[in-house]
Structure 1
Amino acid sequence: MRKFLLLLCGLLILNANENDPCQNIEKFSKDQLQTIRYAYHYGKKDNLGYTMAAIAWKESCAGLYRINFEDPSAGIYHAYLPNVIRRHYKQRNTPFRRNVVAEKLIREPEFASQIALEELLYWKKIRKGNWKEMIKSYNKGFSWEKNKLRNKMAESYYEDISKKIQILQQYFEKNPKMFHPITDFKKPNLPQSIEQIKLLKEK
């Protein structure tokens, strides 16, 4: 009986994953596929096309969910707002500035992609081209080096990105149009005004 219940649970989970628009690329909407395609071509020139597409898939469900209040992060790739403010703007982290940067990341895919690529290239240099360490650092910075829990989380992130890249490679091969640069990538039509999202209070 127990084995039957375990098998049933496994089948239910598998079926849920197959129908989940964040898990199964075959269920992606046109907008999600556009996001994947855009991310791929943005990173392609630096040999990070599939990497950026996989990160967009993992972090925002290929553009469906562009904000995380808990981190706080925003955009297609869920850029960590305090880092963007410190590295890109070289300014002090304030609630107002987080709101401004979050809105820009959400509304402007090119800016979000620029920030994600800058972050990846930064870690690629720091990690001397080691792709695995670059991905782990994109997720957890330097913290995974001396913290077992954060290293475990970074390893899990790396494994998931690696798996998504394999799926993306197969999907692109079956759908050659994905290799053609996108020319009409639309900005998100957000149902809720960003100005009404009272983001990220000082902690």
Structure 2
Amino acid sequence: MKKILLFSCILCGFLVLYANTDDPCINIQKFDKDQLQTIRYAYHYGKNHDLGYTMAAIAWKESCAGLYRINFDDPSAGIYHAYLPNVIKRHYKKQNTSFRRNMVAERLIRDLEFASQIALEELLYWKKIRKNNWKAMIKSYNKGFSWEKNRTRNQMAQNYYEDIAKKIEILQNYFEKNPQMLQPIKNLKKPNFTQSIEQIRLLSEH
């Protein structure tokens, strides 16, 4: 019985490991051309602010490097999954309506530069607030001020920070082995979206 249990545990561990290494959202070696283009674009957008790998890692984590550009639960959109109510409040100075959420979400999904501008501004804001403390900046990018006084949200922000830090290490190693990633993109091609732009209409239900 013990041998069967041990074998089952080993088998489960092997299956989990195999699944992780074969997952196009986890294993960078499985990224397609569009994903690599997204990562490369994010890196170069933030590079001049010493946030290149940070932005690339966030794009990887939030949208699987551009594969999934909308989250109805938040709601958020774009390769960095910008929180729509905040984008509307800060950049449009307008009321948060279903129509405006749809409009902003569509632009975040289609326009890499706009999505990157929003993400970079958010990071620079927290970088200033947190006085260049990178860890606190990342935790705040994820949970704002709320993680400071809430144990649960602090743990969530900590997990987010640790995952971003891990992804940065992987990205740095990948870029070193693939020096073409360090070259700016001259002709950015529009990626093929996994999620239909028509799905944005569902935001009106939130």
- Do they fold alike, i.e. is TM over 0.5? yes
Which stretch of structure 1 is more off in the superposition, 184-193 or 127-136?
184-193
1:51-130 equivalence runs, <5 A = 51-130=54-133
2:41 to 38, 43, 46: 38
Q: Report the 3-state secondary structure (helix = DSSP H, G, I; strand = E; otherwise coil) of the residue aligned with 2:201.
A: coil
How far the C-alpha of 1:3 sits from its partner, in A, is 2.3
Q: Percent identity?
A: 77
Q: Which amino acid aligns with 2:77?
A: A
Q: Which has the higher helix share?
A: 2
Q: Report the 3-state secondary structure (helix = DSSP H, G, I; strand = E; otherwise coil) of the residue aligned with 1:200.
A: helix
Query: Counterpart of 2:152?
Result: 149
- Structure 2 regions of 5+ residues with no counterpart? none
- Structure 1 regions of 5+ residues with no counterpart? none
How far the C-alpha of 1:125 sits from its partner, in A, is 0.6
Do 2:67 and 2:195's aligned partners in 1 also have CA atoms closer than 8 Å? Answer: no
Q: 1:95 to 1:169 in 2, by over 3 A?
A: same
1:168 to 171, 182, 190: 171
Task: Summarize deviations over 1:175-200 as a string: whole Å, max 9, x none.
Answer: 00000001122223447763563232
What is the Cα-based RMSD across aligned positions, in Å?
1.4
Do 1:107 and 1:188's aligned partners in 2 also have CA atoms closer than 8 Å? Answer: no
TM-score normalised over the length of structure 2? 0.94
CA distance in 1 between counterparts of 2:172 and 2:204 reads 40
Do 1:120 and 1:134's aligned partners in 2 also have CA atoms closer than 8 Å? Answer: yes
Task: Summarize deviations over 1:26-51 as a string: whole Å, max 9, x none.
Answer: 01001100000000000000000000
CA distance in 1 between counterparts of 2:173 and 2:96 reads 41
